[in-house]
A and B are shown apart, each in its own frame.
Chain A
Amino acid sequence: MTRRPRGAWLVVLLVWLFVYPVLLVVLDSARGPDGWTLEYVSAFLREPGEWAALWGSLWISVASVVLAGAIGVPLAFVFERLDFPGRRVLGALVALPAVLPPLVGVIAFLFLYGESGFVARALTELLGLDEAPWRLRGAGAILLVHAYSMYVYFYLFTRAGLAKVDVSMIEAAHSLGSGTWTTFRRVTLPLLRPQLAAASLLTFMTALGSFSAPYIFGGGFRVMTTQIVASKLNGDIRMAVVETSALALVALIGLFLLRRQAETRSVVAVGKGIPPAARALSQPIARWGATGLGWAFGIVLLLPHATLVVVSLVPLGTWTTQLLPPTYTLSNYATLITEPERLRPLVNSLWMATVATVGAIAIALWAGRLVVQRRATLRGLIETLVSVPWAIPGTVLAIALATAFSVRAPWMARWVLVGTVVILPLAYLVRNIPIAAGSILAGFRQLDPSLDEAAASLGAGRWRTLRAVTVPLLRPAILAGAALAFATALGDFVTSIVLYTYETRPISIEILSSLRAFDIGTAAAYGVVLMLISAGAMLVGTRR
């Protein structure tokens, strides 16, 4: 009996969605109007600006990992191992940066720390300066935003790891004569290695694909993502394609190198996983010192959100040289709803994010069903495929889709989708696949596989089993995956800027054009809306 292996169609779909487009881009970088050529690649290699951008991407990513780790890891230890007043509230605040979509976080930083932001105004006033004491530009500004938004990965991963380090291992080390420091260095830290490696990988890949911060703050400082978009907007498609291939290659190498570290299977799970109880700080100085520092830190975390809200209440043109805006109204929000052209991006983003989320959930359910089946031959391939889009920088994906789907060649499975309403939801969908699949595959693995068989033996067909058994049982996992995917798609900027049309412009693009028109109130109002929806999604997604 020769049968098509289960999941073959899913593999075909996933390959068509992103593997094929990325491959086409890579091939296109070595192809000119007269066939194969290395002309464009060598043009790329001869350009010092390109090398600078490549180097910029690399060192910014590595520095982001170092900075995020330097903030996130100690913070995780403090919150996991020490007890002080306010620990709970602050522990929840620590994840706040996660509710800011990349572009929204960047504009919040602009309003807060930029040369006409609150902090600069306050210092100018205080010190009687003639102009802002700094300009928020270049690598420093990018790293500031990255550290703020990416330390969360290290914080969450380290806390999760610490919660699994069994207290008996620490006690064993102590009873063998190790002091606190030796125990930390020789026991705790090695046990955390898989988590730290995973956080490093996540941070590195996110920083490598980061676009909003370099785009807004980069100035003359170039990284690959901004370089690609600049080439594309200048109409130099050839160069954009080569640059995209180069970035894809760097991402692949980074993934490969760091993945090996992260895949050293955690030995932590061997213990029962009873973590040491948090040590209460009893000395008043330590207690209140920790609390004070904690709150100061909490305020720093919360400032961007607060800034966004304040700025969103400022009507156009009323805030000029004053320290604080003189008037506050809800007029910016009113125009978002009443002016059709302002409402349009909101509606666009909502429907496109919804479509992309539903699609990604459907694919994740399909993949999940196959992955838990006892002897599905394509299981490993499918698991890899649904997680791969995560490692493709958004810019690379955007250029890949723009390349693959700007040609009509049905026999090559290529159609003209660029410029249509289809392309953006499709891009969001691809970016949502790993988010939805991460949550849903984990849910599937916790299901007893005989539940499916029980339904089948009771006469239920595939659809009824899915509807009456699988989906109800996976509801929490589906909700979590859908909420995170929806929030991500809603706030997307990096693929949108390459693929949008005026008709389908999403919120992020509208924020950008408001910013360009110095209409910071409207930009902030859009930002607040995005922030609230993301926060709502996180609440839904993390509730169990």
Chain B
Amino acid sequence: MNDAFLELSHLTKRFGDHVAVGDLSLSVPRGAVLALLGPSGSGKTTTLRLLAGFERPDAGTIAVDGRDVTALRPAERRFGMVFQHYALFPHLTVGENVAFGLAGSAASADRNARVMEVLSLVDLEGFGGRQVSELSGGQQQRVAVARALAPEPRVLLLDEPLSNLDPTLRERTRRELRAALDRVGITTVFVTHEQEEAFALGDTVAVLDQGRLEQVGTPPELYEHPRTLFVASFVGRASVLGGVVIGDGRIRLDAGAEWPAEAPQDLAAGARASVVVRPEAVRFAREGLAGTVTERRYTGARALFAVDVNGGTVEVEASAHAVTVGDLVHLAVERVLAFPEAKE
């Protein structure tokens, strides 16, 4: 790819025998926002720390705008970093925190102007003289963003940027953060374990598991066309059932019924398969897979029903009063995804 601004090639990091990041290659176009999504231990934070220069990779390179920066120390790299717990300097004021990265780069008048500029970017005009400890969590997060942006870094890195906020504050902060990133137009990489956050903030999302890259794509690509069982079940709600491929795009479920399935990976007839069912892709029907409703989770007009089928549970989204707990029901699908069965 020629338009890649930030390019990670074959990045590998081991801690002792444990491979934290294994042969990871990714590229981010100029001005794009990439989310690194994965469960804890997936290597996403290590990847971010490799990018920031806090860790040295055992193999592989990191390039910005065609120049290799792998050997540069963090201070020389001009990557801005927003830490999970913000890491604001508690002995400095908000303004001094933001000005920290500007030291020596310009006359003090220019510095002050830049501090004002970035503070207004995050809607904190007039907060320059405040003590960090006087701020709310959301304000601290914005100061951390302003501080990272102030020296005009080439790449912005964010470590779980919203994880320390109240759920009520999270959505608003997320929108504001996205708006600020768009205004600055900075190439951004952030780490999250929440799919919703990754989808809302990221232009593209890279799903990591156990140090390996599972799939990169836009949110719809990941949701609608997951390439692996891990991506399919980690991204979005999904139920997983076991079955056997009987050929001709059909799978016989262990639970009894036969369903049409699409297989992104090779699946020979007769092979064991894991079938991934999204709650909105399955509906109650007159005939099909039989099961018992065991739980109803009411969310308003719609509800999520848990249906026990022979050897598993399927989540079904339907109108709130479609069935009640204890009913015997039948389930039908339009389309499901089938993957080679996960090895235990």
Contact = CB atoms under 8 A, between A and B. Distances in A.
A323 interface: no
B100 interface: yes
A301 interface: no
Nearest to A471: B91
A1 B87 CA distance: 31
Interface in B137-158: 147-148, 151, 157
B85 interface: yes
A216 to B, nearest CB: 47
Contact of B75 (A450, A459, A469): A459
A473 B90 contact: yes
A458 B100 contact: yes
B149 to A, nearest CB: 11
Interface string A452-488: 0111111111001000110011000000000000000
Interface in B56-97: 56, 73-81, 83-85, 87-91
A471 to B, nearest CB: 10
Nearest to A448: B87
Interface in A414-456: 448, 450-451, 453-456
A456 B87 contact: no
B77, B87, B90, B103 — most chain A CB neighbours (10 Å): B87
Contacts of B151: 458-459
A464 to B, nearest CB: 7
A375 interface: yes
B85 A450 contact: yes
A456 B148 CA distance: 11
B73 A456 contact: yes
B74 A456 contact: yes
Given A458-B100, A458-B101, A459-B101, A453 B87 contact: yes
A11 B196 CA distance: 49
A365 B148 CA distance: 27
Contacts of A448: 85, 87
Interface in B15-66: 15, 52-54, 56
B147 to A, nearest CB: 7
Contacts of B87: 448, 450-451, 453-454
Interface in B296-315: none
B120 to A, nearest CB: 20
Interface in B238-276: none
A155 B120 CA distance: 55
A460 B81 contact: no
A457 B103 contact: no
A457 B89 CA distance: 13
B15 A458 contact: no
A469 B79 contact: no
Interface residues of B, number: 29
A453 B100 contact: no
Interface in A495-533: none
Contacts of B74: 453, 456-457
B156 to A, nearest CB: 10
B85 A458 contact: no
Interface in A7-62: none
B73 A469 contact: no
B85 A457 contact: no
Contacts of B85: 448, 450
B49 to A, nearest CB: 8
Contacts of B157: 457
A456 B75 contact: yes
A453 B81 contact: yes
A1 B71 CA distance: 12
A454 B52 CA distance: 10
Interface in B81-132: 81, 83-85, 87-91, 100-101, 103
Nearest to B98: A458
Q: Which 4 A-B pairs have the closest CB atoms?
A: A458-B101, A456-B74, A450-B87, A457-B81
26 contacts: A448-B87, A450-B83, A450-B85, A450-B87, A451-B87, A451-B89, A453-B54, A453-B87, A454-B81, A454-B83, A455-B100, A456-B53, A456-B74, A457-B53, A457-B74, A457-B75, A457-B77, A457-B148, A457-B157, A458-B75, A458-B80, A459-B75, A459-B151, A460-B100, A461-B75, A473-B89
Interface of B: 15, 52-54, 56, 73-81, 83-85, 87-91, 100-101, 103, 147-148, 151, 157
Interface of A: 1, 375, 448, 450-451, 453-461, 464, 468-469, 472-473
Given A458-B147, A459-B75, A460-B100, 14 more contacts: A1-B56, A453-B54, A453-B87, A454-B87, A454-B89, A455-B100, A457-B52, A457-B53, A457-B79, A457-B148, A458-B80, A458-B148, A461-B75, A473-B91
